A and B are shown apart, each in its own frame.
Chain A
């Protein structure tokens, strides 16, 4: 949900900017060197409504980024929900490539449409800056299912009813199905509107299992049975719960989870990118950002620009390889 009338207004400023651009061409392209100009506004577009993980992360990051950039521009968060993330992504893709429009997007949501639906864009075209949040992701079973560990599922070939956090072709559902394929059990996803509804179904015992983020599940952890975490090592809060790497499936780490990645419009000049990359790293290191993230139960995990591209590439490859399997039935 977005409650601004910004784009109506930006059409005015856009017109004016177009005019000044036309008049200013002769003056040369000094713009990139001055990035960002004093008193300017940088917009971070996010695909989620206010209040959730992404929104919290984006707002904390926006404050830190404003301080870290030269000339301390305003950095504002714009909630552009809808179209399963496509509306926010389009805003970033179609903005002027001047570094004033950034996006904090969910990596899997960006990757899937071209890979599965043949949408016409290349996720690698976006100028990726960093991964700034990777909320801990874990699988839990319902108490009513009688499952106590992943061993009772893995390798059995049986099908387990999963409370999925989106539709059947949603990234989180596909991730769960690929986990099932890799571990040797079937997944029958029941779609829900988001993780908290799915979690309620697990607590009721209507389904066998689900996977979701730690901030959502942790408050109810006593009412569910943790199966494994999508981490490379066990986490301190759940010392008895195996990590997915320990189970021999480290490759599933890149498939599952809600990695939040920061990027900007394709074709943004290198000088601007250099400024953004440096400032983003400084913002990530900022004490208030990290403290805020800890307080909100988030997991600030840094990947730099090239590592972020690798993550995106890995998702493209892994989902692409499983495409036919996922789309059949």
Chain B
């Protein structure tokens, strides 16, 4: 199973959960639209998943049979997206930095979090040099201070 299928499966799971939740409101206006829409999305997601998996299998069989072709396929299933490799480590690192940003913003201050994030993220993740990172962090920090701290609460 590929990431693309996991995404479809997540959509299906979400709509299934919503569909199940809709019955709590059976008999009221809160039931109508959520029931109908999540039901349709669930069916569509499952259909997509099945078609996609079958197309994959057919593709593999094709490729095994005649390894030369495989570029132009007139499949009746929805168009195939290339399976892009996902840089999981990169994503996780970025989100770890962002989580740190939220923690500092929540427990200390966003005025600390903004320059700290920009500097550390620039140096550690983006492999930028120290000085430009510090300049960027300081200038954005200052701009944020002026706009959000000095300007916005002034009323």
Contacts and interface: CB of A to CB of B under 8 A. Distances in A.
B106 A11 contact: yes
Nearest to A9: B109
A12 B148 CA distance: 16
Interface residues of A, number: 9
A5 B152 contact: yes
B152 A12 contact: no
Contacts, number: 25
B contact patch SS: helix
A96 interface: no
Summarize A's interface: helix, strand, loop or mixed.
helix
A3 interface: yes
B149 interface: yes
A56 to B, nearest CB: 14
Contact of B108 (A3, A4, A6, A12): A12
Contacts of B109: 8-9, 11-12
A4 B107 contact: no
B153 A6 contact: yes
Contacts of A11: 106-109
A8 B106 contact: yes
B152 A3 contact: yes
A4 B105 contact: no
Contacts of B153: 4-6
B108 A5 contact: no
Contacts of A15: 107-108
Contacts of B110: 5, 8-9
A3 to B, nearest CB: 5
A7 to B, nearest CB: 9
Interface of A: 3-6, 8-9, 11-12, 15
Q: Would you list the 6 A-B pairs with minimal beta carbon distance, nearest first?
A: A12-B109, A4-B153, A8-B110, A5-B148, A3-B152, A8-B105
6 contacts: A3-B152, A6-B153, A8-B106, A9-B109, A15-B107, A15-B108
